[in-house]
A = this chain, B = another copy of it.
Amino acid sequence: FKYIARSCKEILDNHSEREDGIYYLTTANGMKYQTFCDMNTAGGGWTLVASVHENSIYGRCTVGDRWSSQQGNNPNLPDGDGNWSNRNTFGLVESATSDDYKNPGYYDIAAKDVSVWHVPNNFPMEHWNLAAILRYHTENNFLRLYGGNLFNLFKQFPVRYNIGSCSNRGPAIPIVYDHGNRESTRNLYGPKSRNEFDPGFITFRAINNERGAMAICSGVKPRGCNSEHYCIGGGGYFHPDQCGYFPSFDWDRLGREQGWSASKEMTESAVLLFYR
């Protein structure tokens, strides 16, 4: 263990490391883990804490859907697996584009901003940055208002079925693009969805017409209530055909960018979440 740091930001600040790659981190309690540090984007110091990966949109709310429910689409399990606001962890850093990933940094790091990379499934770590179809970050320190990380933010805004109506949405934070722009963001989602959101934001805890809760609307701020077509993650219950990470990205036709359906690029990419 070369350093004893709680985040990539600490390694950057205290040891002037500027190389992207895998570093050891520790939690406050002394639990060690390895993750990827982005030491260059917008000043660097970004810690990869999680990824949301859907290997197949056909396996809805079954084994492997750790960011919604592995126990079926069940109104008796409104929180689903509850991983947006608990201390469970899973996966390893090198598998972050091949499977779900969540490390202890997700709940342990005290951060100010997030960065998000959409990386095509199964790309190896050394190519994540260049392969990403969308990369952006926030820079207004919004996490300070919500407990310093998504673990605490989602305690305030539970990703839970029937917790409220569409108007009880969580914060929508403006973003700065590192790769892509508002127009390219729009085009990653379905034609009908484009009428219902504003690009240039990341939104937390959206709720749809059917009172299903979604965790993250990446790149957009919803104006309407059909957020199952452009938001990811979720509680344990959705409209019967919509459970999963990308609850209804394939409403019209899978990956064909028709109607409400998102693009193939989007549905076949993992969503990597960083803190700084």
Contact = CB atoms under 8 A, between A and B. Distances in A.
Contact of A94 (B29, B55, B56, B92): B29
A180 interface: no
A224 interface: no
A242 B133 CA distance: 40
A237 to B, nearest CB: 11
Tell me what chain A mostly uses at the interface: helix, strand, loop, or mixed: loop
A271 B58 CA distance: 30
Report the copy number of this chain in the oligomer: 3
A56 B69 CA distance: 12
Contact of A29 (B22, B77, B88): B22
B72 A124 contact: no
B21 A94 contact: no
Contacts of A92: 31, 89, 104
A187 interface: no
Contact of A59 (B58, B71, B88, B91): B71
A242 B52 CA distance: 31
B58 A64 contact: no
Contacts of A86: 95, 98-99, 122
A129 interface: no
A31 B23 CA distance: 8
Interface in A44-73: 55-56, 58-59, 62-64, 70-72
A30 interface: yes
Contacts of A71: 56, 58-59, 62-64
A124 B28 CA distance: 11
A56 B55 CA distance: 26
Contacts of A64: 70-71, 81
B88 A99 contact: yes
Given A22-B30, A94-B104, A125-B29, A59 B77 contact: yes
Interface of A: 21-22, 27, 29-32, 34, 55-56, 58-59, 62-64, 70-72, 74, 76-77, 81-82, 86-89, 91-95, 97-99, 104, 122, 124-126
Given A59-B71, A89-B94, 15 more contacts: A22-B30, A22-B31, A29-B94, A31-B92, A31-B94, A58-B77, A59-B77, A63-B70, A64-B70, A86-B99, A87-B98, A87-B122, A87-B124, A88-B99, A89-B95
16 contacts: A22-B29, A29-B126, A30-B34, A31-B93, A56-B71, A56-B76, A58-B71, A58-B77, A59-B77, A64-B71, A64-B81, A87-B124, A88-B91, A88-B98, A89-B92, A92-B104
